[in-house]
Amino acid sequence: MADNKDQDHKPESIERLRVEEFPVASQIGALTDANKGLRRKIFDLYTIFEISRHLNSMLNLESLLDATLFTCIGQMGVAGAAIVVQDATDNKLSHFHWKGLTIPKDSIMHFSRVGRLARHLQRIGQPQLIRELQGAIPAESDDFAKLKIIEAELVVPLISKGNLLGILFLPRKLSEMPYQENDLEFVSILVNQLSVAIVNAHLYESEKQALLELRSAQKRLIESERLAALGRLAASIAHEVNNPLGIIKNYLTILTKMPDVSMDAKSSVTIVHEEVDRIARIVRQLLDFYRPTLERQVELNLIEVIDSTLDLVSQKLESVGVEIHRDYFGDDVRISGSSSRLKQVFLNLILNARDSMASSGGKLMVEARCVDGFVEISFSDTGTGIPAEDLPRIFEPFFTTKKESGTGLGLAVCHGIISSHNGAISASNNDLGGAKFLIKLPLLKGKDASA
C-alpha cells in the first residue's frame, strides 16, 4: 500500500527507488527482525526474572514443578510438558510430574540415574533435541520408549553441582516450528533457576524434618526425665520403708511364737504378716528403679532372652486361652544388656497382656526385627486395649486400673530398665483393638547384619 502511494505522488522517481531504496528496505527488514528478536529477548528475560522471583520464594516441590511446567507451556508454545526429578527418599529420578500430555496410566516413568540417558545428559549438561539423542542412546532402550510416550522433542537436564537432579521434557511446538537458539537459551536459564530452587526446597524439607525430630527427642527426654524423677522418689520412699518393715516382720514372727498369745490374736497376727509381706513385695519392686544401673551388662542374644521368657509362661497362658505367636526377623540379635532385667521387662509385658485378655483369651504376638542399628521388639495383644486418656500415664509408678490386684509398678519398672539399656519403650493401641508395646534397643555395633 505504501509503495502504491509513493507511485501516485512521485511517478518520476520510480527508477531511483529501484536503485536506491532497495538496500534501505532490506535494512529496514533486518532492523524489524532484530527488533522482533530483541523484543522476544526482553520478554524472555522478563519472564525469567518473574519466574526466578517466584521459584525462589517457593519451598514446596510440587508447586515449583507446576510453576515451571506452566511457564514452559506458555513461553514455548507447547501443548504440555513433563519433568522428572530425584525423589528425596530413594535417590532415583522417579518423581514424575506432567501437564497437558497424554501419559497412559500404567506407564512407570522412572529414569535410572545410571541409565544411558541420565549419564549422557549429565555429561553434556545442555538441552538436547531428540535427534541429537538418537545417536547417543539406543532406540530400543527403555529410556527411549519413555521419551516416545512423552513425545519429547527437547530434553533438558537439571544439573546442580555436577549432579543430575532431574530432566525436563518438551514436545513439539504447536506451531510445528523447530526449537531455536533463543528457546534453548530460555529453557537453560529456567532449569538452572529451578535446580537452585529444588536444592533449597530439599534443604528446607530436611531442616524441617531435623527440627521435628529434635522436638520429639526433647519431648521424649522430658517424659523420661519425669518418669525417672518419679521413679527415684518412689524408690527413696521404699528405701525408708524397708528398714522399719524388716523390724515389724521380725516382731510379728516373735509374737506368733509366744506361748501366752491366744489363737484369735495369732490368726490376726498372721493376717498382719500377710499384709506386711504384700508391702514388702511392693517395696522390692520399687527398689528395682535403683538396681538397673548396678547390673552388669554383657553381650547377649536377645531372641534367646525373649524365647526363654515366653517358654516360662507359655503353659500358663495357654491354660487361660491365650495363644502365643512369634515372628522374628533373624534368630541371633546381639545387644549389650542384662538378661535377668530384660526378662523382667518381657514378663511384665506378657502378664499385662494376659490380664487384658483374662475374660475370653486371645492372641499375643511377639515380633522382633532389626532397623537402622536398632532391634525393635513388639508385644501386641487382642485384649481390651488402653483407653486414650490412660495412654500418657501408664508408665507412671502406681498408675493402675486393676484396683486391688495391681500395683501400677510393672510398666514403670520396664521403663527404668529399658532406659538403662539406652533404649526406648512406647505404648499404643493396635488394629485388633488390643494394646501394643514397642521396645527399641541399640544393636551391638557390627552385629546387625546377622539379623
Ligand X SMILES: Nc1ncnc2c1ncn2[C@@H]1O[C@H](COP(=O)(O)OP(=O)(O)O)[C@@H](O)[C@H]1O
- Position of minimal CB gap to ligand X: 410
CB of 439 to ligand X, least distance (A): 13
**Quick one: which H or E segment has residue 99?**
strand 93-99
Helices (H) and strands (E) in the chain, counts: 12, 12
| Greatest distance between any 2 Cα atoms in the chain | 158
Classify residue 78 by its DSSP letter.
B
Contact 388, 375 (CB under 8 A): no
DSSP three-state, residue 451: coil
- Binding of residue 407 to ligand X (CB under 6 A): yes
Q: Quote the least distance from Cβ 221 to ligand X, whole Å.
A: 21
* Shortest distance, position 313 Cβ to Mg ion, whole Å: 13
- The verdict on 408 binding ligand X (CB under 6 A) reads yes
For residue 424, the 8-state DSSP code is E
How many residues does this entry show for the chain?
451
The C-alpha atoms of residue 162 and residue 164 are separated, in whole angstroms, by 7
Nearer to ligand X, 255 or 287 (CB): 287
Nearest CA-CA partner of 111 in 72, 137, 131: 137
**Residue of 65, 230, 368, 435 interacting with ligand X (CB under 6 A):** 435
**Window 74-103: residues binding ligand X (CB under 6 A):** none
Residue span 339-378 as binding mask against ligand X, x where in contact by CB under 6 A, dash where not: ---------x---xx--x----------------------
Note whether 397 binds Mg ion by CB under 5 A. no
> Which CB, 338 or 352, lies closer to ligand X?
352
**Residue from 127, 157, 383, 416 in contact with ligand X (CB under 6 A):** 383
β-partners of residue 368 are 328, 377
Nearer to ligand X, 71 or 356 (CB): 356
Is 87 in a helix, a strand, or coil? coil
127 scored as a contact of Mg ion (CB under 5 A): no
Q: How many residues bind ligand X (CB under 6 A)?
A: 23
Q: Which stretch binds ligand X (CB under 6 A): 47-55, 168-176, 386-394, 440-448?
A: 386-394
Residue with cell 529414569: 111
As a whole number of angstroms, the distance between CA 48 and CA 67 comes to 12
Answer yes or no whether residue 384 interacts with ligand X by CB under 6 A: yes
Give CA–CA dist 323/316, Å, rounded: 11
Residue 210 or 312: which CB sits closer to ligand X?
312
Q: Does the protein bind ligand X through residue 333 (CB under 6 A)?
A: no
Taking CB under 6 A as the binding criterion, the range among 76-84, 160-168, 283-291, 384-392 that sits at the site for ligand X is 384-392
| 425 strand-pairing partners | 439
Q: Which is nearer to ligand X, 73 or 322 (CB)?
A: 322
Among 81, 386, 417, 418, binds ligand X (CB under 6 A): 386
Strand 362-371, strand 322-328: pairing: parallel
Cell of 294: 548396678
Half-sphere exposure of 113 (CA within 13 A, CB side): 15
- Identity of the residue numbered 154: L
> Which of positions 398-427 make contact with Mg ion (CB under 5 A)?
410
Considering only 94, 188, 336, 401, the residue that binds ligand X (CB under 6 A) is 401
Closer Cβ to Mg ion, 118 or 413, answer by number: 413
Cβ neighbours around 27 below 10 Å, total: 10
- State whether residue 437 is helix, strand or coil: strand
Site string for Mg ion, 350-369 (x = CB under 5 A): --x-----------------
For the segment 124-163, give every residue that binds ligand X (CB under 6 A).
none
Rounded distance, CA 362 to CA 385, Å?
12
Closest approach of ligand X to the CB of residue 330, in Å: 25
381 touches which of ligand X, Mg ion, none (CB within 5 to 8 A by kind)? ligand X
Find the part of the chain contacting Mg ion (CB under 5 A) among 25-33, 164-172, 348-356, 412-420.
348-356
The binder of 408, among Mg ion, ligand X, none, by C-beta within 5 to 8 A per type, is ligand X
Report the nearest approach of Mg ion to the CB of residue 348 (Å).
6
SS (H, E, C) 338-382: CHHHHHHHHHHHHHHHHHHCCCCCEEEEEEEEEECCEEEEEEEEC
In the complex, minimum distance from the CB of residue 263 to Mg ion, in angstroms, rounded to a whole number: 37
Output the smallest distance, CB 400 to Mg ion, in A.
7
Q: Is 415 exposed, middle or buried (0-12, 13-18, 19+ CB in 10 A)?
A: buried
**Contact positions vs ligand X (CB under 6 A):** 348, 352-353, 356, 381, 383-386, 390, 394, 399-402, 406-412, 435
